[in-house]
Amino acid sequence: MSEIWRAVPLTIFPEMFPGPLGLSLAGKALGEGKWALSTIDIRDFATDKHRSVDDTPAGGGAGMVMRADIAAASIDAARGAMPADTPTIYLSPRGTPLTQARVRELAAGPGVILLCGRFEGVDQRVLDARKVEEVSIGDYVLSGGELAAQVLIDACVRLLPGVAGNEVSLAEESFAGSLLEYPHYTRPREWEGRAIAEVLLSGDHEKIAKWRREQAERFTKERRPDLWEKLKGR
Ligand code: ADE
């Protein structure tokens, strides 16, 4: 029996977890033991009576920097409790952009250790010394890594066996096949003068599949010309 997939956030705001991950699909799966969450409070590794984890930046400038020694102590504690091949990720706008392909890899592994930064950043030496991977969830800046960590965890958890239930909808959705997802409709048949496309009510599965493919292509061309170019190049 293999251990269950485990997320280990390292944070100075442990109260932020599980947060939204305690509800809906991820929350239900968490309650059912299909994944596990072991949040670690970085302040537990502080060495002074104020439990401080940051200090002023060498060279001057705005903000505060998380200390290497304290961040490292929290990483080492997390690693000690996880299989050796568990990736350690620092959430940062400077990181490699998160993709569905990386999410799939992470979901297939033993879990993730997620260092959540606050302040201006983390002392670079801990990232180098502990070979920490840097991951960004998009080209915008959050006030801390916790929300980004939750995004990453959610994306992984829904791929775990027995969590999402509907394997077909997982396979068909955006990025699995690289096209954006086709539009969905349900009753009523007409709403505010807008009718559902006849083909969807025709019962002709081949025609429906063709129509959905065309819609997916249209959305992809319009909204993500970058993805569309990549697809055409294949
Ligand atoms: N921390 C702050 N902004 C972030 C982002 N865009 N992605 C990941 N972590 C972050």
Give 73-93 pLDDT, tens digit per residue: 999 999 999 999 999 999 999
Looking at per-residue confidence, does 170 or 109 come out higher?
A: 109
Pair 18, 96 in one domain: yes
Mean pLDDT of 158-186: 81
Kindly report the protein residue whose alpha carbon is nearest to atom 7 of ligand 1: 136
Q: Which ligand 1 atom sits closest to the C-alpha of 117?
A: 1
Tell me: pLDDT of 203 over 80: yes
Q: Identify whether 113 is part of a domain.
A: yes
Indicate if 189 and 149 belong to the same structural domain. Answer: no
pLDDT tens per residue across span 206-227? 999 999 999 999 999 999 999 9
Residue 49 shares a structural domain with residue 111: yes
Asked if residue 195 and residue 153 are part of one domain, the reply reads: no
Among residues 68, 70, 124, 126, the alpha carbon closest in space to that of 94 is found at 124
Is pLDDT above 80 for 69?
yes
- The answer to the question of residue 148 being in a domain is yes
| Statement to judge: residues 48 and 85 lie in one domain | yes
Is residue 189 within 8 Å of 197, Cβ to Cβ?
A: no
* Residue 163 falls inside a structural domain: no
Q: Tokens 């706008």: give the residue.
A: 93
Same domain, 113 and 227: no
Model confidence at 232, pLDDT cuts 50, 70, 90, reads confident
Band of residue 171 on the pLDDT scale cut at 50, 70, 90 = low
Mean pLDDT of the chain: 95
Asked if pLDDT for residue 9 goes beyond 50, the answer is yes
CA dist., res. 101 & res. 80, Å (int) = 27
For residue 110, give every residue at least 6 positions away whose Cβ sits within 8 Å of its Cβ, in sequence order, or none: 2, 3, 5, 6, 82, 83, 85, 86
Cα 90 to ligand 1 centroid, rounded to whole Å? 9
Structural tokens at position 37: 């969450």
Ligand 1-lining residues (CB < 6 angstroms)? 91-93, 136-138, 140-142, 145, 148
Per-residue pLDDT at 1:
47
Per-residue pLDDT band at 113 (split at 50, 70, 90): very high
Position 12 in a domain: yes
Residues 114 and 221 in one domain: no
My answer on whether 197 and 101 are in the same domain is no
CATH number for the domain harbouring residue 48: 3.40.1280.10
Residue with the smallest CA separation from ligand 1 atom 5 is: 93
Share of the chain above pLDDT 70, in %: 94
Q: How far apart are CA 230 and CA 42, in angstroms?
A: 41
pLDDT at 170 over 70: no
Q: Give whole-number Cα distances, 10 to 4, 72, 107, 195, in Å.
A: 19, 11, 19, 50
* Separation of alpha carbons 17 and 37, rounded Å: 8
- Whether 130 is in a domain gets the answer yes
Number of domains making up the chain: 2
Dihedral through CA 97, CA 101, CA 103, CA 104, nearest 10? -170
Task: Give ∠ CA 32-37-39 in degrees, rounded to 5.
Answer: 155
Residue nearest (by alpha carbon) to ligand 1 atom 10: 92
- Record the pTM: 0.94
Q: How far is the CA of 229 from the centre of ligand 1 (A)?
A: 27
Query: Do 122 and 201 belong together in one domain?
Result: no
Domain endpoint, select from 130, 157, 184:
157
The pLDDT, as a whole number, for residue 87 is 98
Question: What CATH number has the domain bearing residue 187?
Answer: 1.10.1270.20
Confidence grade of residue 166 (pLDDT, cut at 50, 70, 90): low
How many helices (H) and strands (E) in the chain?
8, 11
If asked whether residues 52 and 110 sit together in one domain, one would say yes
Domain containing residue 145 = 5-157
Does the pLDDT at position 2 exceed 80? no
Locate tokens 């292509």: which residue?
217
Are 205 and 108 members of one domain?
no
pLDDT mean over 120-140? 97
